[in-house]
């Protein structure tokens, strides 16, 4: 990553943009009917969130003092979110978990693609070369399980983690986004949904990377760990009782 004098945003500021846009997106998902224009406007804003979190995961991988502890912490957090979603399913019979209880579930565990992406990076940087190809299996698994953003989400993290110059990160991010949006049009075997074109707005987040100065900034790491399940739980309860 090249830091220029003009770069003015630190990691904490990028995270806050991610948190705010993610929250806006989830408000639309749980509380605003999909037939309204407001729903899709808010969901469009929400497309900014994931690329920023994907980038932060890749940055964390390169800057953490203990990569195994970093990976283990995210794995346990991912499992915790899944347990919460399974509990919600058992109570409401609405499946938001990645586990196929009903066959019609749509996972909302957006930590899953972050964990898969980090796992792929760990494998790709393994000294034992024979382990590296297993990163491809993780990419395929993300698509097969139907995790949020599927293979696109994992590949985005891999690109951010391998390509360390912002120009190449932007090029890779835009390319992957275009493939995610328009790939199904030329490969009929891949399901295509009209709202996928909203993901083009993720390019806004990719452009923000030019403002990243490589600094951590002031932030409470545990706030972000607590906020995600807390706001999801509150929105789910409101939606359930409305």
pLDDT-above-90 percentage for the chain? 57
Q: What's the rounded Cα separation, in Å, for the pair 106 and 198?
A: 18
pLDDT confidence of residue 98: 63
Q: What's the rounded Cα separation, in Å, for the pair 25 and 40?
A: 9
Assess whether pLDDT exceeds 70 at residue 233.
yes
Name the nearest CA neighbour of 205 among 5, 4, 25.
25
Q: Which tens digits make up the pLDDT trace of 178-228?
A: 998 888 776 665 665 666 788 999 999 999 999 998 888 887 778 988 999
Q: Which tens digits make up the pLDDT trace of 9-40?
A: 899 999 999 999 999 999 998 899 989 999 99
Do 168 and 146 contact (CB within 8 A), yes or no?
A: no
Question: Treating both helix axes as pointing N-terminal to C-terminal, what angle do 150-162 and 166-186 enclose, rounded to 10 degrees?
Answer: 160
pLDDT confidence of residue 102: 44
Kindly report the average pLDDT of the chain as a whole number.
Answer: 87
Q: What's the rounded Cα separation, in Å, for the pair 29 and 19?
A: 15
Mean pLDDT within 145-154: 89
pLDDT confidence of residue 241: 85
Q: Count H helices, E strands: the chain?
A: 10, 0
Q: What's the rounded Cα separation, in Å, for the pair 26 and 61?
A: 27
The region of weakest confidence among 8-17, 73-82, 100-109, 177-186 is 100-109
Assess whether pLDDT exceeds 80 at residue 94.
no
């Amino acid at each position: 990553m090249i830091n220029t004098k003009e770069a003015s945003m630190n990691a904490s500021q990028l995270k806050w943009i991610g948190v705010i846009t993610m929250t806006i997106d989830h408000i639309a998902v749980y509380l605003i009917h999909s037939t309204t224009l407001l729903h899709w406007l808010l969901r469009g804003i929400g497309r900014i969130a994931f690329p920023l979190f994907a980038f932060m995961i890749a940055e964390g991988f390169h800057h953490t003092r203990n990569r195994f502890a970093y990976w283990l912490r995210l794995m346990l957090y991912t499992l915790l979110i899944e347990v919460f979603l399974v509990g919600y399913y058992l109570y409401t019979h609405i499946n938001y978990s990645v586990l196929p209880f009903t066959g019609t579930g749509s996972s909302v565990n957006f930590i899953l693609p972050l964990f898969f992406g980090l796992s792929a990076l760990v494998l790709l940087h393994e000294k034992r070369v024979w382990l590296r190809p297993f990163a491809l299996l993780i990419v395929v698994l993300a698509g097969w399980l139907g995790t949020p953003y599927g293979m696109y989400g994992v590949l985005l993290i891999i690109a951010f983690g391998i390509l360390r110059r912002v120009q190449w990160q932007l090029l890779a991010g835009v390319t992957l986004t275009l493939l995610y949006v328009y790939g199904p049009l030329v490969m009929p075997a891949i399901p295509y949904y009209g709202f996928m074109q909203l993901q083009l707005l993720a390019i806004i987040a990719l452009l923000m990377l030019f403002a990243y100065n490589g600094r951590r900034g002031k932030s409470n790491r545990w706030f972000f760990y607590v906020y995600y399940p807390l706001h999801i739980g509150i929105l789910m309860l409101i939606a359930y009782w409305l």
